[in-house]
Amino acid sequence: MKLVAGNSNRPLAEAISAYLNVPLAKAQVRRFADMEVFVEIQENVRGEDVFIIQSTSFPTNDHLMELLIITDALRRASARRITAVIPYFGYARQDRKPAARTPISAKLVANIIAHAGVDRVLTLDLHAGQIQGFFDIPTDNLFAAPTLARDIKDHLDSGNRMVVSPDVGGVVRARALAKRIDAPLAIVDKRRERPGESEVMNIIGDVSGRSCILVDDIIDSGGTLVNAADALLANGAKEVSAYITHGVLSGGAVARIAGSRLKELVITDSIMPTEAVKVAHNIRVISIAPLMGEAIGRTATESSVSSLFD
Ligand code: R5P
């Protein structure tokens, strides 16, 4: 078994390597002067079961291209099986046609990855579960929920916890976490009553006096989260924290979170945290390296991955 790291999240790849006690394979992933990606695998991989660890996070296209070119290098070097370990799968939000003449980019990217020569995919908290079916190769979609639930139990008082989905689309995910920590569920329902009027936030469920835990798969601009936190506090919540798997955190998101009334935002290291994230007073990063490492180990030994979530 070999582990190969792209450049998207070297610290996570190193943590997975430490968990498995398997060193990262010697490989160079670098750029020509014009920024073309060049890959050189510097050790023998013939007949090996190889796992490429690469999130397709910002800069998404560069990291996707690295993944494809690493795959090509491994395939031409006669690797026996290539698994793309993609903790954060970029383009996942483009999973359907929201309007006429728009693409389904998540499917396109899945096709490209399989076509490049990847045999299996291992990913985490896909934006929508059905994206798993976009890949015509075996794909395991891991859940961060057990990792998040453990952290919630360690950090938040069990008495008055309430899990909240920040929009109707995230209810299934939030309900699964609520079940794990034995907490009730509330939902933020965003509605534009009339065209041209601003959105109204209705809260489904009684949040007064509760320690609310907002749960989502992605935080990007932070708008969804900060607005939901304000609506919960306006409806009498005692405090609001958030547990979100993928900290995309584009543009001014970190400053928006720091300046918000959120007690704490907890994200995973599926995307490499920036310096701004590391120093933010109300953002904490927990590692999914043990979860990814365990799933890689089980894939290599052909044992059950789903039983990780029983
Ligand atoms: C949307 O469906 C996702 O689950 C997130 O709610 C969304 O991507 C968050 O985006 P932002 O932080 O920009 O509001």
Mutate to test the pocket of ligand 1, among 216, 221, 227 (most ligand atoms within 8 A of CB): 216
Note down pLDDT in tens along the chain; length 310 residues. Answer: 999 999 999 999 999 999 999 999 999 999 999 999 999 999 999 999 999 999 999 999 999 999 999 999 999 999 999 999 999 999 999 999 999 999 999 999 999 999 999 999 999 999 999 999 999 999 999 999 999 999 999 999 888 999 999 998 899 999 999 999 999 999 999 877 777 666 778 999 999 999 999 999 999 999 999 999 999 999 999 999 999 999 999 999 999 999 999 999 999 999 999 999 999 999 999 999 999 999 999 999 999 999 988 7
How confident is the model at residue 191, as a pLDDT?
Answer: 79
265 pocket-lining for ligand 1 (C-beta < 6 Å):
no
How far is Cα 53 from Cα 225, in angstroms, rounded to an integer? 29
Report the relative pairing of strands 161-165 and 37-41 from DSSP bridges: unpaired
Q: What's the token pair of residue 63? A: 């990291």
Residue range 33-44, pLDDT digits in tens: 999 999 999 999
Report the relative pairing of strands 211-219 and 200-204 from DSSP bridges: unpaired
Q: What's the token pair of residue 54? A: 């690469």
Q: Whose CA is nearest to atom 5 of ligand 1?
A: 218
Mutate to test the pocket of ligand 1, among 164, 219, 244, 265 (most ligand atoms within 8 A of CB): 219
217 pocket-lining for ligand 1 (C-beta < 6 Å):
yes
79, 296, 306 from 72: Cα distances, Å: 10, 21, 29
pTM across the whole model: 0.95
Domains of the chain are 2-142+290-309 (3.40.50.2020), 145-287 (3.40.50.2020)
Nearest to 93 by CA among 215, 198, 218, 177: 218
Q: Which residues make Cβ contacts (< 8 Å) with residue 296, sequence separation at least 6?
A: 3, 16, 20, 51, 83, 85, 122
124 conformational bin, left if phi > 0, alpha if psi -120 to 50, beta if neither:
beta
Q: Enumerate the active-site residues.
A: 190
Q: What's the token pair of residue 141? A: 């979609």
Residue range 149-200, pLDDT digits in tens: 999 999 998 889 999 999 988 999 999 999 999 999 999 998 777 776 667 7
Residue 169 CA, closest ligand 1 atom number? 2
